[in-house]
Structure formats: C-alpha cells, structure tokens
Amino acid sequence: MSLNHVRPWRDIYRRKSRQIMVGNVPVGGDAPIAVQTMTNTLTTDVAATVAQVQAAAEAGADIVRVSVPDEDSAKALKEIVRESPVPIVADIHFHYRRGIEAAEAGAACLRINPGNIGNEQRVKEVIKAARDHNCSIRIGVNAGSLERHLLEKYGEPCPEAMVESGLEHIRILQDNDFHEFKISVKASDVFLSAAAYQGIAEATDAPIHLGITEAGGLVSGTIKSAIGLGNLLWMGIGDTIRVSLSADPVEEVKVGFEILKSLGLRHRGVNIISCPSCARQGFDVIKTVEALEHRLEHIKTPMSLSIIGCVVNGPGEALMTDVGFTGGGAGSGMVYLAGKASHKMSNDQMIDHIVEEVEKKASELDAAE
Ligand code: SF4
C-alpha cells in the first residue's frame, strides 16, 4: 500500500510479490517501485554509454539496461558495470554465450528468454553463470516475438498467449531451481499489455517489470505509458517500470517518475503544481514554470511548489504546498511558505527567490529526516 492511508480514496493495494535483488536494488515485495531505462548508445562505445548511464542515474534511474548484441559489447560491459552508479541489466537475445559473458562481466541481471536460447544444456549453462555471478534474470515476453507454437495455437498475439509464453519460460527456470527472476509481458498495444499483465500477475508471484513497448515519441509515448502503466500501477501491479520512448533515456526516467509521483507511489524532487494561465495571470506562468523546472532539477528531496497566476486558485493551492507563489498584479505576487502567506516579491526577482526558498526548504526537510 502507498503512504496515503490517511486519505483512503488514494490507497493503492499492491499485489504481493516475491522480492529479488537486481544488484543492490530490491525488486518486488515491499521495495519501492524501481525506475529503469535503457541506453541507446553503442555498447562498445564505453565512454558514451557510461555517460548515458550516469545521466539516467542522476535523473533518478534505479537500474539501467544495456544491449549486449555481440562479444565486443560483452567485453565493454565489464567496464560499463565498473563505472556505473546503478546495477546494469544486460539485454540478451537468442545467443546463450552472450548471456554467460554478460554474467561474467558483472551484469546484475540478464534480460533473456530461456526458451529462446537453444537446447537444454545451453539453458543450464546460462542459468549456472547467472547463479555463479549473483545475477538475476528478467523474462521478457513481447507480443511481437511470441513463439511460433503459441501463435499457431492462438492465431495472433493475445493476452492468453503472452501469459502462456511467460509461464513456459518461468517453468524452465524453476525446473533448474532458479528463482531470482522477474517477468514482463510487453506489447505496444495498451489493451493487450494491460490484459496480459493482469493475467501474469494472477498466475505467478514473481516480481513484475512493467512496460508498454515501442510506445512512441516523447508526447505520444508518455500518454500511452501513463494510461497503460498508470492503470496497472493503480491496480497494484508492477514492481519496476520502464517507459519506452523514442527519446533520450533521461526523458524516460523523468516520465517514469512522474507516473509514480502522480499515484503517490514514489516521491522525488519538486512536484510543481501550476495553473495553465489565462488573461488573469499576474506574471508569465508558462515561462516561469519552464525556468523553474530547469533550475530545480538538482533538488531530490520530495516537496511541493505551487506556481499560480492569480488569486482565483493561488491561495487555495498554496495551502497544500511547501512553497507557493501567487500572482497579485502590480508587478508582484505573494510568496507562501508551509501554506501560509509569508511575504511579497516582485515578479522580476521571483524566479531566483523561489529557487532560494525551495533550496532552503529542501535543506530543512533533509535535516529533519
Ligand atoms: S489561476 Fe488565475 S491565472 Fe491561472 S488559470 Fe486560473 S484564473 Fe487564470
């Protein structure tokens, strides 16, 4: 359950899952829902990949996935893991050797479908490498790459086929006495994804990695992910999430966090509440919010800030935020601290002033922790 029990209409009852470790990050059980992203640099370009991993981690990513398509990438992975501030998941397709090499290189988790890497002996070798190197596994079922026998049985990708695929892969791991795994059942279609995830959530107690695959660009993909992941998270399903966007991984992390913040499931940084602005605004709300979002990116302490154009909604919103600013006309507005009107501030100094007030409040909250 989230921390919202004082307001029962906000409660989310989380599905009970087993907990596994991805490196030092717990996934499942009562662990915070982890935010993931994936690099899109060439893995063999170690410097570029490490820079992207670090930027994603700075934006709040708990775990980052890196593709390992060939032997050189597996070699590069070793250096990437060494430099990374967060656990690295190695993305493996089809080739069992890459899985073994990635485990040896220090990957915290292998994203691999055990049913697709060849005969039983090869599967055993990969599982042994994972076990020997403290590596968990993510089974990643994807509607676009379902096994042929399931497509023949069901006629097309459907929730039942995806769940069956997931359970077949799970069985292989369990038959090898390997239980440190999580599972995803992704599709680019929101309805298919949501139904498949509900099915797999009922069929297993494994931690679930949520994602809407190939969701699209920054705006369309964000909306699709917010609807798909948002609904599932609201139902209590999901232990780790990745928002897939044709955009910078840092954007994926920001969107992932915003989805979790909207549902009260994670809190990080400044939650800005701002009005859309209209003819009544006492200052340029849109430009101010844009500037503040940028200037406050470094704040990691969970806190709230209201930036409201006029007194229609300003004082009311400020009541519920840590810091607030409400436009008041005549070139100045009112600063609110802890919900109370505190002092006036001129519009031309308000951005610097609000940044100072937020930084001060963040230090206070950190000290109180
Ligand atoms: S709070 Fe004021 S400025 Fe903002 S949209 Fe509402 S009426 Fe317009």
pLDDT digits (tens, 9 = 90+) for 195-240: 999 999 999 999 999 999 887 899 999 999 999 999 999 999 999 9
* Alpha-carbon span 258 to 37, nearest angstrom: 14
Calculate how far, in angstroms, residue 46's C-alpha sits from the geometric centre of ligand 1. 49
**Cα 214 to the center of its chain, rounded Å:** 15
Strands (E), 123-263: 136-142, 181-186, 209-210, 240-242
Q: For the residues 340-360, what does the mean pLDDT come to?
A: 96
Which region among 81-95, 163-177, 309-323, 349-363 has the lowest average model confidence (pLDDT)? 309-323
> Do 45 and 66 form a contact (C-beta atoms < 8 A)?
no
158 close to 192: Cβ distance less than 8 angstroms? yes
Is 142 strand, coil or helix? strand
Q: Which atom of ligand 1 is nearest to the CA of 282?
A: 3
Judged against a pLDDT cut of 80, whether residue 331 lies above it is answered with yes
Phi, psi of 6, rounded to the nearest 5 degrees: -70, -15
Contacts of 192 (CB under 8 A, 6+ apart): 143, 157, 158, 159, 162
Strand spans (E) along 16-114: 20-22, 25-27, 34-38, 63-67, 88-91, 109-111
Instruction: With beta carbons less than 8 A apart as the criterion, state whether 199 and 191 touch.
Output: no
Euclidean distance between CA atoms 161 and 136, whole angstroms: 24
Separation of CA 157 and ligand 1 centre (Å): 47
Which residue from 84, 90, 120, 121 is spatially nearest to 104, judged by alpha carbons? 90
Q: Who contacts 175 (Cβ-Cβ below 8 Å, separation ≥6)?
A: none
SS (H, E, C) 276-319: CCCCCCCCCHHHHHHHHHHHCCCCCCCEEEEEECCCCCHHHHHH
Q: Residue whose CA is closest, atom 8 of ligand 1? A: 278
Q: Is the beta carbon of 316 within 6 A of some atom in ligand 1?
A: no
pLDDT at 5: 65
pLDDT in tens, 16-27: 999 999 999 999
d(CA 211, CA 188): 9
Angle between helices 159-175 and 190-203 (to 10 degrees): 40
pLDDT cut 90: percent of the chain above it: 88
Distance between CA atoms of 366 and 3, rounded to whole angstroms? 19
Report residue 137 as tokens.
């596994």
**Closest CA to ligand 1's atom 2:** 310
CA 194, CA 191: separation in Å to the nearest integer?
Answer: 5
pLDDT (0 to 100) of residue 324: 96
Q: Is the CB of 219 under 6 A from ligand 1?
A: no
**In this structure, is the dihedral angle defined by the CA atoms of residues 313, 314, 319 and 324, taken in order, positive or negative?**
positive
Distance CA 250, CA 37 (A): 8
Ligand 1 contact via 313 beta carbon (within 6 Å): yes
Whether 1 has a pLDDT exceeding 50, the answer reads no
Read off the pTM: 0.91
CA angle 284, 286, 288 (to 5 degrees): 65
Q: Could you tell me the two tokens for 285?
A: 């709300």
The answer to whether the CB of 63 falls within 8 A of the CB of 32 is: no
**Residue of minimum CA distance from atom 5 in ligand 1:** 277
d(CA 228, CA 232) in angstroms, rounded, equals 6
pLDDT at 128: 97
Residues 6+ apart with CB under 8 A from 153: 161
Contact, 109 vs 207, CB < 8 A? no
Q: Tell me, what's the pLDDT at 4?
A: 56
- With the most atoms of ligand 1 within 8 angstroms of its CB, the residue from 313, 336, 347 to mutate is 313
Cβ 57 vs Cβ 64: under 8 Å:
yes
Q: Which of 274, 277, 336 to mutate to test the pocket of ligand 1 (most atoms within 8 A of CB)?
A: 277
